[in-house]
Structure 1
Amino acid sequence: METVNIIIEMEDGSVMKGELYPDVAPITVENFLNLIDQDFFAGLIFHRVIPGFMIQGGGYDKDYNHHETKSIKGEFSSNGVTNDLLHTRGVLSMARTMIPDSASSQFFIMHEDAPHLDGQYAAFGKITDGLDVVDRIANMPRNIQDCPNIPVVIKTIKRG
């Protein structure tokens, strides 16, 4: 399987390393890499964290200003695209609205397996090192909207 390595560095110094799979979701990986190359994710937060499910980020800064970018085609089976990457612990996938082709920059990392997402969301990579960081973020105190009480800021995401 072809892979592209990435490094997610958090403002607190913690690091998650992962790999992206362009042969599984070429449009999604190209979009994500373009955003990385623009340093789009610097200063954005993980704004939705649900223990036992996932952590989601890539759309808001710590003042909850929304950072928008263009939408892409959803690469998952219910949208007519073959994508056999399952939503297991550590998998990266694209967040979207109810509209299949609405994913843009928001992504999520699976805290635990969620087979009900298979075929419904564009999985495109996996965290290979730093699942302890995912665990820590997922278990942070949060409000009723699942936002961490203390902002969890992405310093940078880069190729690596």
Structure 2
Amino acid sequence: MFLSRFQSLYAVTLALLLATPLASQATTVRLETSLGPVDIELYDAEAPKTVTNFLGYVKRGDYNSSFMHRSVPGFVVQGGGFAWRNSSNSVDAIPTQPAVVNEFSTARLNKRGTVAMAKLDGQANSATSQWFVNLADNPSLDSQNGGFTVFGKVKDSSMAVIDAMAKLQRVNAGSPFNELPITSMPSGYLGRSNLVMVNRAAVYDANYDADRVFDYLEATYPQYLGTVKSTSASAAGYYLRYYPGKEAYIGTANGTLYYLVPSISPNVESLGSMADWIKAVAAAGY
């Protein structure tokens, strides 16, 4: 009885989601950094090409395990250029896509908290993966090199994390890491634990944390959920994913994670609090 109701509501919900136009709202990207989360509200309509370019790197996972590689107190902190590879304990440049056309506008100036694209000197249309957060109003960036395109703004609630990055000590680890912020001084070689890591970057919404948990469960327990990624939806009071290959469900409601496999049991089983799962998935890099 419960199963058929669950499936019916899930199907109806998906149909409604597909048929109902979504209200226009700014896209938000969350950076899960080693100093705390940073939420960036993007200027979708104002800088569409630049936002699309940035979201491409986010959705491909290019910024996962990247790090902030430049800090100039009172000016900018910069990231998006390099990633730490655990498999080799080394740094790689993030693979870049074709450069995006400059979309600088005097309606979007380089003021404190704004996020803009970095680019090569003397090449106005050379921005690829690297971006920076303005630590102060920087009018000089509005007149150099065709102007640096502002495409988003760090939410006020996240600026404390950015300011904490700017207060860290810096080391000269050789170009391009001449102004590298570090969280601690290494006893030997610089490692991941010394860097200001961006462990994960993803589009954020009200169900962001639930999707992180679902992604982790899919990757960790394919024997129960299968190997095909599912789409999230809301049904029967749950935010959930359904896996037809295994006829399994995972879902959240009221701060609890639930699991249902009718072939094993007709009961919806609690897997514990979402708060505990979020801590676990964060530790695993999700």
TM-score, normalisation: structure 1: 0.89
CA distance in 2, matches of 1:39, 1:83: 31
Secondary structure of the equivalent of 1:132? helix
Alignment-derived partner of residue 44 in structure 1: 66
Alignment-derived partner of residue 134 in structure 2: 110
Alignment-derived partner of residue 146 in structure 1: 179
1:137 to 165, 182, 197: 165
1:88 to 90, 98, 111: 111
Deviates more, 1:67-76 or 1:94-103: 67-76
Alignment-derived partner of residue 22 in structure 1: 44
Q: CA deviation at 1:36?
A: 1.0
Amino acid at match of 2:44: P
CA distance in 1, matches of 2:55, 2:111: 22
Matched, 1:69 2:96: yes
CA distance in 1, matches of 2:106, 2:45: 9
Secondary structure of the equivalent of 2:54? helix
Alignment-derived partner of residue 79 in structure 1: none
Matched, 1:127 2:154: yes
CA distance in 2, matches of 1:122, 1:31: 12
Q: CA deviation at 1:74?
A: 1.4
Equivalences, count: 154
Q: CA deviation at 1:51?
A: 0.8
C-alpha distance after superposition, 1:103-133 (max 9, x if no partner): 1110001111111112510100000121011
- Give the gaps of 5 or more residues in structure 1: 77-81
Preserved CA contact (<8 Å) 1:25 1:83: no
Amino acid at match of 1:31: N
Percent identity over paired residues: 30
Structure with larger Rg: 2
